[in-house]
Structure formats: C-alpha cells, structure tokens
Amino acid sequence: MTTDETRTRVLDGVTVVDLSTFVTGGFATTMLANQGAEVIKVERPGTGDDSRHSGPPFVAPGDYDGPGRTPDEGESPYFWTVNYDKRSVELDLKTDEGLAALYDLAREADVFVENFRPGTADRIGVGYDDIRERNEDVVYCSISAFGDSGPWSERPGYDLLVQGTSGIMSVTGPEDGDPVKVGLPQTDLITAMWAAFGIMGALFRRELTGEGDRVELAMHDAALPWLTKQAAKAFVGEQPTRMGTKDPVLAPYQAYPTADGYLNVGCANQKLWRGLCEAIGRAELADDPRFETNADRVEHMDELEAELSATFEERTTDEWVERLAEEAGLPVGPVYDVPTALDNEQTEARGVVTTLEHPAVGEIDALEHPLNYEHAEAGFDDAPPLLGEDTEAVLRDLGYGNAELDQLREAGAIPDR
C-alpha cells in the first residue's frame, strides 16, 4: 500500500537536456520537471534563454554574490513562469569543447529537447542522429514553427504568426472588429503541452520496447486540433467568424454586462436554460419560440443577448453569482482580471499559487501545475535558475575535475567567473 512516505513522482530518475529557448520547449520541460524529471537547461554563455530578457517587468537582483548571474536588466518574472525547478548550464556549442561537454550530458539523458529551425540542429552537431549516436535509447523532441516538411518548413515563427496561420485570430475578437491575438501566448503553450504529451508517450513506449524515439512537432500543426467547433463548421462548408464572447453552437454561452462588470453564462442545455429563466425572473423566455431549443437560441443569438443583457444589467456581478451559482446551482461566474484570478478563495484553497525561494531576489510567487495524483507526488521544489547557476555542479556530476573545468574555461566553452 502506498503511503505518504513512499510516494514518488512519476518522472523521478528521468533526466532531460533542454536546448530550447522561449516558451514551447521551456514550458514542455517545466511540465516534466513538475512530475519529477531533472531538467538541465543548456544556455548560451552571457545571454541565456531569450525569455530571460522578456520584459519589463524585471526584478533587480540586489547584492547577490552566489553562483550564476542575472541579466543586466534584472530577473524576468516571465522567464520564471516557464522555468521552475531546472538547472542552468552555460555552454558555448560553437566550441569543440562545449559541444563535447554537451555530448557527455546527452549520454546520460533520457530526453533531449530542441526548438531550432529545421536543419539547424543537424548543422551545429546536435541533431537526432548526432545525439542518438551517443545515446541509442534517447527520446529526442524537435519543436519548430512549421515542422520538418512542407513549403513553410524553413520559415521562422512565433506565437503571433501561428495564431494567424492557424485561424485562431480570425475567430477571436469583436464581431465587427479586426482579428485579435489571444491575450496569452496560446500556440506556444498548446505546442508545449503536445510536446510534453509526446515525450511522456515515447518514454512509456521505451519502457515497453526498450527503444528510444524522435518526437517531431510544429506549432502550426499543434494549434489546428484545438479549433474543434470552428473546424466542424468549416468541414461542412460554413465560414467561422469572430463572435466576441458568443459561441458558434451553444446559447446562452457568453459574457453579459452587469451593473458593475460582466457575467459568464453557460446554460446551454434545456434543463439549465429553463432553470436560468426561472432564476432571473424571466420564465416567459423559456416558452418564446425564438429560444425554445438550443438551435433556436443559436439562430436568434442577437435577440437572446438583448433580452438577457437588459436583465443582467439590473444587478451587480456578485449579486448574480450568489443568486444563480450559489443558490440555483447554475453554471455562471464572474469575469475576473488577472490579479483577482490569482488571488481568490478558490485559487487559494487549491494551492495553485505558491512561493519559492529565489537565490537572487528572495521569495517569489510561483504557479503550480494542476495534476494531483492519489498515489504519486507532483509539484515544484526550486525556483527558476540563475544563468549558469549549475554549470560547474552539473559537469562535476559527470566526472569533470578541476583540470577539465579549467580547460573548458580556457577554450571559452564555459564562462570564466
């Protein structure tokens, strides 16, 4: 029987070497770190991951004088959110000595992650064949904007571009407005989740067969399956459009203005719809031929919006939440700003926002991941690393002594502190 003393993490004992920058690889390996993997983040000397320089805001490093260093502008909280619980190693892969040290890391790794443009990893000596030659059982993950094949394969790409090519921007924003980028780096995060899923699947297959594998994915490909409702319309010849907060196939399923803000209402089946009409004192709407079925309500969505908005504007958001969610048990809720989303009784009760001790700036807030197991542990133990914080420690773990470290410094493969 599993007890609290014997609970382990799903990926305890798994080592990940992460050459990626920005979010796609970074968030994928953070997901693996949350499940117990040791993630060794290999960064460019002096510069590090590009997301270290994403800001403002930046947090000044103060008088920190331990191992590692912070960028000149300070620490980026954005970098923190996708790099918890990792170790940072600075290696100049343009030197023979730095590349050799990377190969030593790769020999001990279970997973190797890169997000170079297709062809770049092979050119600099860290492609799948290069790493597999040194570690036959490795799970190697390649992430790019448009993949290894197709006419766009050599194009560079970021979240903004892929939100455009995937159709997401075309269905986001007000009905009569311009295309709008989702406020989150959505396609970066979508891709990261697919990558982590693929890596976990390849690790499971390796347990069954003893064989490593290469997982290859593109941001553009990763975003398309998330279109779901919009793709369903396109597949039958309809043109999905921007609808604000409305839904293409459900009603009422949108945000409505209240006396002091907005209320999300998701009462889209018949029982919920009738319950809503009763609870807001508009029982007659349930028998209105325009709104009788979900299909009728979708067909007359603008008229439904006008009727419900007039009613919801009579009370505050909190009053409606208490009446409809708490008392009537209906799926309605407030539209929070980000600080309120991070600091409310539900978020606190679930422990989603926690704290970690950062070596340069002290205690920082951190976002935990949502997986809770009955018989396994999950969660972050350590703050995101300073640039190169673990360079010498990781290399010493591989058997490097003082002489070897001095040689790496002289060759410029690692920084000379």
Crossing angle between the packed helical segments 96-107 and 402-411, to the nearest 10 degrees: 130
Residues annotated as catalytic are 188
Mention every residue, 6+ apart, whose C-beta is less than 8 A from residue 58: 71, 73, 74, 75, 76, 77
The 3-state secondary structure of 293-307, one letter per residue: CHHHHHHCHHHHHHH
Taking Cα atoms as reference points, which of 51, 73, 48 lies closest to residue 158? Answer: 51
Reported as half-sphere exposure (CB side, CA atoms, 13 A), residue 140 has a value of 23
Tell me if 66 sits within 8 A of 410, measured CB to CB.
no
List the structure tokens of 178: 């311009």
Between strands 332-334 and 353-358, the pairing is unpaired
Cis peptide bond N-terminal to 57, omega within 30: yes
Task: Report the distance separating Cα 166 and Cα 50, nearest Å.
Answer: 24
According to DSSP, the residues that pair with 218 across neighbouring strands are 144
Tell me if 131 sits within 8 A of 106, measured CB to CB.
yes
Task: Report the distance separating Cα 213 and Cα 19, nearest Å.
Answer: 17
